[in-house]
Amino acid sequence: MPAKGASFVTSVVVIGGGVIGLSVAWRAAQRGLRVTVADPAPGQGASHAAAGMLTPVGEAAHGETDLLRLGLDSLARFPAFTTELTALTSQPTGFRETGTLQVGYDADDLAILSELRALQEAMNVPVQQLSGRECRMLEPMLDPAIRGGLLVAGDGSVDPRLLTRALLAAARQVGVTLVTQATAEVITRDGRAGGIRLADGTEISADWVVLAAGWNSAGIAGLPAGTAPQVRPVKGQILRLRGNPAQPLLARSVRGIVRGSCVYLVPREDGELVIGATQEELGPDSRVTAGGVWELLRDARTLLPGITELEFAEASAGLRPGTPDNAPILGPSPLPGLVLATGHFRSGILLAPATADIIAEYLATQRLPAIAGQFAVTRFSGQDGQHGQDRQHGQDRQHGPDGVQP
């Protein structure tokens, strides 16, 4: 930690110590770069609220094939990523490869699932179509009214709070400096980002500034006009119930569509059951509301009546960083020296391993891996002449619990 008001030099300063910022810092330090992360409360933003479901198809909407490809790529990196983290730090991450069961409650909900199946098949994601009875053979505690579902055996889940703790330990172990202060502004010198100024006035000079501040990325001071990424907060309320680890209600994550609204339930080995999440466009409002909690419990109980027996442990809310097309912004920005790793919206946990490798590669070599090509910030200004995908605009999505996003 630098002395107050002092200045120090690093090769890379990462603004934001959530799962994305810490993953980038860890991987960049492994590439031999001197890395500093600045965050007043590392891991306490969207990463703290997240459920950690790793389900690329479930998070992508129709037409979002580039995002889906990136999600599948990142999911494939998860086993090695978490194994390496645990080997280095002896910290668990809660990573499980138990798959996802996507269920439809009524006939209309089942019709939404069949569209999802088409997307899965188009992307060669192995998926098995199941009747309601077959769903209950896999998950006997599901409500008998459920009409059918899809089993995606390749999906997984991770505990984002454990993951953050392991990433913090791993980053420290490879020499990353953690500064628990807010960033007051990005410093520019001769038309290039040259570091940051912290809230207490301390200057950190750096060759590269990585902006990984989640929904706050748009509000960072000091950036020339037009260079701040377009990111907005999208609130998600989420619940945590505590059950008996010896008698889990679910063996795998369940995403359900209940009369048009989507809810997910993610079981953990310690008996916790996470229920998420609302999707609300209310600006930087992170209050938990009675209506949000009620809607989540209503839909979760419709799918899994046994939740009423579990202890209510926590209700929280996080702010996802949404972009105009719901896909992340990865790579260089119009301001030389400023690198963007932000806007991951609903997929920050899933996309952490791929993002870390992409950004570390860029910082070390100034080359961007091909898979990142569709996620340049220039897509919003039309500078690259391609908009990539026929994505829904985030603001147009249905609100309420998770929209109807299958």
Closest approach, Cβ 132 to ligand GLY, in A, equals 25
Q: Does 16 bind ligand GLY (CB under 6 A)?
A: no
Q: How far is 10 from 33, CA to CA, in rounded Å?
A: 8
Angle (CA) 155-279-291 rounded to 5° is: 120
Binding mask 332-361 for ligand GLY (x = CB under 6 A): --------------x---------------
> Which CB sits closer to ligand GLY, 33 or 238?
238
> Which CB sits closer to ligand GLY, 388 or 394?
394
Q: Among positive and negative, which fits the CA dihedral 352, 354, 358, 364?
A: positive
Closest approach, Cβ 277 to ligand GLY, in A, equals 4
Name every residue whose Cβ is closer than 8 Å to that of residue 332 and which is 6 or more positions away in sequence.
338, 339, 340, 362, 368, 376
One of 22, 35, 47, 59 touching ligand GLY (CB under 6 A): 59
> Which CB sits closer to ligand GLY, 211 or 277?
277
Size, binding site for ligand GLY by CB under 6 A: 8
Closest approach, Cβ 216 to ligand GLY, in A, equals 17
Closest approach, Cβ 278 to ligand GLY, in A, equals 8
**Interface of this chain with ligand GLY, residues 198 to 237, rule: CB under 6 A:** 236
Closest approach, Cβ 40 to ligand GLY, in A, equals 23
Closest approach, Cβ 29 to ligand GLY, in A, equals 27
Closest approach, Cβ 67 to ligand GLY, in A, equals 12
Find the part of the chain contacting ligand GLY (CB under 6 A) among 51-59, 100-108, 197-205, 354-362: 51-59
Q: How far is 334 from 183, CA to CA, in rounded Å?
A: 20
Token output for 212: 């990984």
Token output for 76: 């494939």
One of 255, 268, 320, 397 touching ligand GLY (CB under 6 A): 320
Q: How far is 112 from 126, CA to CA, in rounded Å?
A: 18
Closest approach, Cβ 279 to ligand GLY, in A, equals 7
Q: What is the dihedral of CA 261, 326, 292, 21, to 10 degrees?
A: 140
Token output for 106: 């009524």
> Which CB sits closer to ligand GLY, 36 or 120?
120
Contact 339, 358 (CB under 8 A): no
Closest approach, Cβ 89 to ligand GLY, in A, equals 25
Q: What number of other Cβ atoms are within 10 A of residue 346's Cβ? A: 28
> Which CB sits closer to ligand GLY, 169 or 404?
404
Q: Which residue has the tokens 């002896």?
A: 90
Binding mask 250-289 for ligand GLY (x = CB under 6 A): --------------------------xx------------
Q: Which residue has the tokens 């950690």?
A: 52
Closest approach, Cβ 223 to ligand GLY, in A, equals 27
Contact 61, 346 (CB under 8 A): no
Q: Is 159 exposed, middle or buried (0-12, 13-18, 19+ CB in 10 A)?
A: buried
Q: Is 170 exposed, middle or buried (0-12, 13-18, 19+ CB in 10 A)?
A: buried
> Which CB sits closer to ligand GLY, 133 or 393?
393
> Which CB sits closer to ligand GLY, 59 or 64?
59
In whole angstroms, how large is the CA radius of gyration of the chain?
21
Q: How far is 222 from 217, CA to CA, in rounded Å?
A: 12
Q: Which residue has the tokens 């998070």?
A: 59
> Which CB sits closer to ligand GLY, 59 or 109?
59
Contact residues for ligand GLY, defined by CB under 6 A: 51, 53, 59, 236, 276-277, 320, 346
